[in-house]
Chains A and B, each alone.
Chain A
């Protein structure tokens, strides 16, 4: 049994009169791909934004690597080791692909204003390291040939890859992908699947929100299903697929 990496306890989140999340608890184990599925509006992205500090939560706590995460600032969450991508890609459009990844090294580097102005030896060494790591990651996700292009000039699939590379640059323990296959064609989805499998075999833990149920069920070690802000199932993919509650959530009750 691999150790628990992230444990969420009774997460609650309300937007005005809408209870977006209700007592959601789940555990993500080290080294697994954990899928999060559910119909539209089930609260997947909300949960995701709570995990990554973008939304303050109303109740509950998140324990990451054995310590309670203070979830009030995304940059602190990133520094703690949770990196994310966005459902609607959010790149730094007017920066090159390489620079985008270099930005991701921010929480793992230290140079301040004065060392940058003086170009100290330590600052130059750090910059060289940032550049080297960014280069490696562009190779890793397979877009090294686009390093000098502006992010907004990249193709859709390459932008997804670039976002993953930028997230990886923060040296995460948990990589959270928000619908990475959205809008991709079959070839791009297959390539994405290989990339995510590669991440797992390199020892990374992945949290995956996805609409493409086939991709989730084929890729994930365990899957949780959200419906109206509540977790209705958490199990291995085959068991989830057979779960009557899940079928009801997706297809509606049979008595209807």
Chain B
């Protein structure tokens, strides 16, 4: 049971999260967009965490499911095919298609682990991207490297997510509306993740991660349970992809390169594999730090040396990489590692 103090803390966090976009908007709308992408990547990290963190299956091609979700949205809500389905129809379709893609990837790789699985998933991610790049002929399905643009924004009744509205003196710009929507989805995904983690299925995932042979001997059908991990992780990726397409208004294969997979994996590992809050922290941190550096590296150099010595983009990635290396050196289990142990004790006390 939660104490009053914990409730108070949660209420404060909730108020802060609700007020956040208006504070950020006063700094610059760009920061609201950056925050939206941070939430999007948090969703992706939570999806990947099921596969990598819970079930211990190293997946280097996770961005493929993000791509599938994004392209499903783009194809069903853009002038490309002249289809304009509402988002609440497309998102579940995107999740389902991504889920099927997850099973397609999972089925042939069931016997693989570790490095070998990583290589196959890496290949899968690249195959999906190359498909998106080349499926423009003979039938123009994806419009190739040019990508698909003029994708419909979300629309709830009269509420258009690409336009500004004002209620009671507050201006709700498009990004702010997306922010609230993303926040709701994030909340749902966190709740789903927590419930799965504490369930029979979640225990089976962790058991497979810890010792597959013992898991099988304990009566776990490892084939089905692994496929389930791939399918669940992929579905979350698909939903995030759909929202990405709507927010951007544009998708192209370039957005789904291997680097993105690695970035999402870094978020999971840096935050603390298997721990939902650690993964959230890792994703938020890795989304914001590069952006913060983007805005500080240049002025800092000018202030220190009077001129620009190093290209900000280079320095930014350098600092970012160094931060990752240091974290892994000094906190190899992540910033906020999984603490099943403590959780169990807390439950006993309650």
Chain A residues engaging chain B, CB cutoff 8 angstroms: 52, 54, 73-75, 78-79, 83-84, 86, 90-96, 98-99, 102-109, 111-113, 116-117, 119, 123, 126-127, 130, 147-150, 166-167, 169-170
Is A99 a contact of B344 with CB atoms below 8 Å? yes
Q: Does B263 sit at the interface, judged by CB under 8 A?
A: no
Question: Which of B211, B219, B220, B222 has its CB near the most chain A CB atoms (within 10 A)?
Answer: B219
Q: For the complex, give the distance between the alpha carbons of A147 and B343 in Å.
A: 12
Q: For the complex, give the distance between the alpha carbons of A169 and B220 in Å.
A: 13
CB distance from A133 to the nearest CB of B (A): 13
Q: For the complex, give the distance between the alpha carbons of A166 and B207 in Å.
A: 12
Q: Does B201 sit at the interface, judged by CB under 8 A?
A: yes
Q: Report 21 cross-chain contacts, Cβ distance below 8 Å, ordered by A residue.
A: A73-B216, A73-B221, A78-B216, A91-B210, A92-B215, A93-B211, A94-B338, A96-B344, A99-B344, A103-B204, A106-B200, A106-B220, A108-B219, A111-B200, A116-B200, A119-B195, A127-B200, A130-B200, A148-B341, A148-B344, A166-B218
Contacts of B198 in A (CB 8 A): 127
Supplied contacts A75-B217, A103-B207, 13 more A-B pairs, CB within 8 Å: A52-B217, A54-B213, A78-B219, A93-B210, A93-B211, A94-B206, A99-B206, A103-B204, A104-B219, A105-B200, A108-B219, A116-B195, A149-B341
Contacts of A104 in B (CB 8 A): 218-219
Q: Knowing A78-B219, A99-B340, A107-B219 touch, does A117 contact B214 (C-beta < 8 A)? A: no
A113 to B, closest residue via Cβ? B201
Contacts of B215 in A (CB 8 A): 92, 103
Q: For the complex, give the distance between the alpha carbons of A214 and B204 in Å.
A: 38
Chain B residues engaging chain A, CB cutoff 8 angstroms: 192, 195-196, 198-204, 206-207, 210-211, 213-222, 228, 232, 338, 340-341, 344-345, 348
Q: For the complex, give the distance between the alpha carbons of A171 and B194 in Å.
A: 28
Q: For the complex, give the distance between the alpha carbons of A103 and B210 in Å.
A: 12
Is B192 a contact of A95 with CB atoms below 8 Å? no
Q: Knowing A113-B196, A117-B192 touch, does A95 contact B203 (C-beta < 8 A)? A: yes
A90 to B, closest residue via Cβ? B214
Is B210 a contact of A94 with CB atoms below 8 Å? yes
Find B341's partner among A90, A96, A102 (CB 8 Å cutoff).
A96
Q: Knowing A52-B217, A78-B219, A94-B340 touch, does A102 contact B203 (C-beta < 8 A)? A: yes
Contacts of B196 in A (CB 8 A): 113, 116-117
Contacts of A130 in B (CB 8 A): 200
Question: Which of A74, A96, A126, A169 has its CB near the most chain B CB atoms (within 10 A)?
Answer: A74
Is B232 a contact of A75 with CB atoms below 8 Å? no
Is B345 a contact of A148 with CB atoms below 8 Å? yes
Q: Knowing A94-B338, A150-B340 touch, does A78 contact B192 (C-beta < 8 A)? A: no
Is B202 a contact of A103 with CB atoms below 8 Å? no
Q: For the complex, give the distance between the alpha carbons of A212 and B217 in Å.
A: 25
Find A75's partner among B201, B216, B341 (CB 8 Å cutoff).
B216
Is B211 a contact of A117 with CB atoms below 8 Å? no
Q: Knowing A94-B206, A103-B207, A148-B348 touch, does A116 contact B217 (C-beta < 8 A)? A: no
Q: For the complex, give the distance between the alpha carbons of A148 and B344 in Å.
A: 6
Contacts of B220 in A (CB 8 A): 75, 103, 106-107
A130 to B, closest residue via Cβ? B200
A171 to B, closest residue via Cβ? B219
Contacts of A127 in B (CB 8 A): 198-200
Is B344 a contact of A54 with CB atoms below 8 Å? no
B191 to A, closest residue via Cβ? A117
Is B221 a contact of A75 with CB atoms below 8 Å? yes
Is A111 a contact of B201 with CB atoms below 8 Å? yes
Is A75 a contact of B199 with CB atoms below 8 Å? no
Is B344 a contact of A170 with CB atoms below 8 Å? no
Q: For the complex, give the distance between the alpha carbons of A105 and B199 in Å.
A: 12
Is B216 a contact of A117 with CB atoms below 8 Å? no
Is B201 a contact of A116 with CB atoms below 8 Å? yes
Q: For the complex, give the distance between the alpha carbons of A127 and B347 in Å.
A: 14
Is B217 a contact of A54 with CB atoms below 8 Å? yes
Q: For the complex, give the distance between the alpha carbons of A82 and B235 in Å.
A: 36
Find B195's partner among A54, A83, A105, A117 (CB 8 Å cutoff).
A117
Find A113's partner among B214, B218, B228 (CB 8 Å cutoff).
B228
CB distance from B111 to the nearest CB of A (A): 13
Q: For the complex, give the distance between the alpha carbons of A150 and B203 in Å.
A: 14
Contacts of B207 in A (CB 8 A): 92, 95, 103, 106
CB distance from B86 to the nearest CB of A (A): 24
Is B217 a contact of A74 with CB atoms below 8 Å? yes
Q: For the complex, give the distance between the alpha carbons of A86 and B213 in Å.
A: 10
Contacts of A84 in B (CB 8 A): 217
A172 to B, closest residue via Cβ? B219
A84 to B, closest residue via Cβ? B217
Q: Knowing A95-B340, A112-B201, A113-B201 touch, does A79 contact B211 (C-beta < 8 A)? A: no
CB distance from B295 to the nearest CB of A (A): 39
Contacts of A93 in B (CB 8 A): 210-211
Contacts of B340 in A (CB 8 A): 94-96, 99, 150
B206 to A, closest residue via Cβ? A95
A110 to B, closest residue via Cβ? B200
CB distance from B238 to the nearest CB of A (A): 16
Q: For the complex, give the distance between the alpha carbons of A88 and B76 in Å.
A: 55
CB distance from A115 to the nearest CB of B (A): 8
